[in-house]
Structure 1
Amino acid sequence: MMANFTKPLPEWKSKGTEPPQILKDTGWKVSQRPPASYFDWFFNRTYEALKELQETATSGNTLGNTAELTTTEKTTIVKAINEINEILKINSSPHRDAINIAIKDVGGMFTADDVEGVFQEVGTKLKETATKLAETDKKLKAHVEPLSKFGSDEDDRGIYRVLEWKTKSGKLRRKAILSDADADGNYRKQTVIEYKEDGVTVETTDVYTLIPDLNGNVKDEVLQ
């Protein structure tokens, strides 16, 4: 039976440079900075070993059916597994002791100076960005949501001093209130209230100063 691999190979074509044996035996020290070519070697060897395993399995043999494997295939598999295990035991494996791997941050983007710290900062920033995007998305949806508008508290000139925007189900989304009329009856203030999803809890309240033109029509709305 053919092996069914569902995960794609972690492809890494750059062969890099094999670290000297002494580094494989002792691992990286805190003050050392491993060159990228050593990591390329590790990633490439891992990719090539896994590639061999998959190709061997899909050729008709499986790891569980070792009786059907040739001597060469068995040797290749054992060698690959042993090599990966040895590499994972030492600090040259980037994910095992990332705090001891220093980085060069020319742009000053991070406060940490090691891989583990940088990854933590990146994760935090991604979480913050996701939260901000969710908040922005919520605000955008509120503005494009189809709403009905209702007027009330009509004055002597037929102006509705209270306007309310509601959803189809009747939940209040926004309310605008005119106030502070001058001697000519022109309103000089408008209060805009935004409500949360429940239609009751106030989310934001903004007050605008209304500036009329010579004809008494509102020309500018200045946020206070």
Structure 2
Amino acid sequence: MSYQKNTWVDHIVDPGTGEIVQQGTKFTATRANNMESGIERAHQLVEGLAQNILGSSVISGLAFTTNGLTANYTAGAAYVNGVKIDVAAGSIQLNGTQGQYIYLDTDGLVKNTTSQATADAKCKLWYFATDATSVITSTDSRTIVSKDAFVKQTDVAANGANKIPRLDGQGKGAFSITGDASTVAGKTVGNAADNVPLSNGTLNTNLNADMVDGYHVGTGANQIPTRDANGKLVADQLARLKITKSGKDASGKFTQVDYKRESDNTLFMRSVLSNPDANGNYQTDTWTYYKADGTTVAETKIWTITYDADGDITSVA
């Protein structure tokens, strides 16, 4: 969740009249706690990023030497679960006749433990095996971050060779690339045939675009229609359909009308009247649409027809 900031305004009083010109924003526990929560979330975010990137590792120092059962370490700096800790030089007393790990804890203290898991969970530094009076073996267990993992400010610049590009005030890369690439994937940039298209406002008549606003061109569903040699749209529309009537009733009304595609004579839509009332007026008109094969039903729409006392149609819904 993003931080919900407050907009604060000053409390202004007219010095002459004592009249309040502007009511200032009140400082309340709710607003203060909102700030505290925002600060806490910001710290959690930074620490989480550091943990993901650096984990628990030594930046510098924290090298050990021993004298009897005393382990002395140099000053240094390390990350413990993403939190940077600076450590002054010091010493820690080792336990006799024991294998033990030395680690840096989140409280900034150097500690020892017999559990490797405990040391691994923090920032493991060293391992010592001892007898009753001295160290038998020791192992440097530090994970040291290479200096190459950090970027020097002097390596960040607006331009120049062997520099890391810097973003400008608008968040754009203020950086010039020396040396123009002559081709892109082996193709030159331009408006001619076999060129990578150039966005320069000039019409590229050779560009074969696959889609327009996310739609393909064709005669299928959800496609942009094309035109035939006569300039007519290649699409299902009544102007391009042949009409056949059948099923004439005793009153001379045709109860079925077929609309067939002109190009291949396949059935596009069939209208069937049914459900006559006492006066022979049909109250239902069923439209059935067919796919390109002329037999597979694509959609069915049923219309209800109402009449007035004179038998004239008043609505179709």
TM-score by length of 2: 0.32
Q: As a proportion of its length, which structure holds more strand?
A: 2
TM-score (norm 1): 0.44
Larger Rg computed on CA atoms: 2
Say which structure is richer in helix.
1
